[in-house]
Amino acid sequence: MMRISALSNFAVIATLYMIVMTMQYFYDLERNKYIAPPATPSASFIKAIDLGLHSAVASFLWIETRTGIPNLQYGLKKFKDDLNLINTLDPKFNTPYVYTVLVLPESKHPESLNAAIEIGEKGIEAAEPNWKLPFYMASIYHINLKDTANAAKYFDIAAHTSGIPEKVKLFAINYGIYPNYRKQTIAIWQAVYETVKDEPTKERAKAHVLHFEILDFLQNAAEKYKERYGDWPENIDNLVSKNFIKEIPTDPFGLSFKMYKTEGLVGIKSEQ
């Protein structure tokens, strides 16, 4: 029995080594063309040499591929090709879908949102059910696209997916009944923070929560200013000079705040 187990472990290690060497071969073919990214081998080629260990190889390849988000070092097409290879090797593997939908929108690529939605829809259809996938899809529609109809649709899917924490389920079911858009956004990032295990993503979610809480804090101070003086402050610094707050909080993303007097809203100052 121990011998069979040892042989099995050797087969896995040997297969992964072969995959690494194959990927290195394709990379070497392209390395002199610095503009072009390393080539992605076909799924049929990988399946021909992986001894049937498609899921193990998919997991291994995902470790390498996930480091490409959100910077997209070799471009969106290369990332999608690599992800498609992983999904073809193991269509039920839901981790790549979940992580991509959560992190890809942070990319500066103009097509990142469309790509995230496309990948998320494919994952909901093909992968093992995971409440995080529709929840993160709903987050894209709510936070990035301001599309409450589709956000409600995917929150509903998440709410009815097994394994969802009761607190998150309650929020998903009740999405839309709260009039305050910012509080819903904070609740989304708080749910991400409490449920995600990836530390960099967890810290990013925590920063988003703090960012919107600062906006809430400044907005409340501005409203008290208006109650006292009958008009909105000319600029955000008036909240300090008139002793409504001690100081302007430091934003976790290094952003500066501005008072949009006409709308009566505290927002982000343009870099220009």
What stretches of the chain show up as alpha helix (H) in DSSP? 2-30, 43-49, 54-65, 76-89, 95-103, 112-126, 132-139, 148-159, 166-173, 181-195, 199-229, 238-241
Would the pLDDT of 272 be above 50? no
Question: What pLDDT, in 10s, does the model give residues 216-241?
Answer: 999 999 999 999 999 999 999 999 99
Show the CA angle centred on residue 13, arms to residues 9 and 85, nearest 5°: 120
pLDDT, residue 246, reads 95
Contact in structure between 234 and 252 (CB atoms under 8 Å): no
Quick check: helix, strand or coil at residue 65?
helix
Q: 70 preceded by cis ω (within 30°)? A: yes
pLDDT, residue 35, reads 52
Between the CA of residue 264 and those of 119, 154, 178, 221, what are the distances in Å? 38, 32, 20, 12
User: Burial of 84 by CB count in 10 Å (0-12 exposed, 13-18 middle, 19+ buried)?
Assistant: middle
Looking at residue 179, the DSSP 8-state letter turns out to be: S
Q: What is the rounded distance in angstroms from the CA atom of residue 50 to the CA atom of residue 157?
A: 36
Domain range summary for the chain, segments of one domain joined by +? 12-122, 129-186, 197-272
Would the pLDDT of 51 be above 60? yes
Q: What is the rounded distance in angstroms from the CA atom of residue 225 to the CA atom of residue 233?
A: 7
Between the CA of residue 202 and those of 116, 199, 264, what are the distances in Å? 19, 5, 32
Q: What is the mean pLDDT of the chain?
A: 86
**For the chain, percent of residues with pLDDT exceeding 70:** 85
pLDDT, residue 71, reads 84
pLDDT, residue 188, reads 93
Closest CA to 134 of 168, 86, 167: 168
Question: What pLDDT, in 10s, does the model give residues 152-191?
Answer: 999 999 999 999 999 899 889 888 776 678 889 999 999 9
Question: What pLDDT, in 10s, does the model give residues 77-114?
Answer: 999 999 999 999 999 999 999 999 999 998 888 999 99
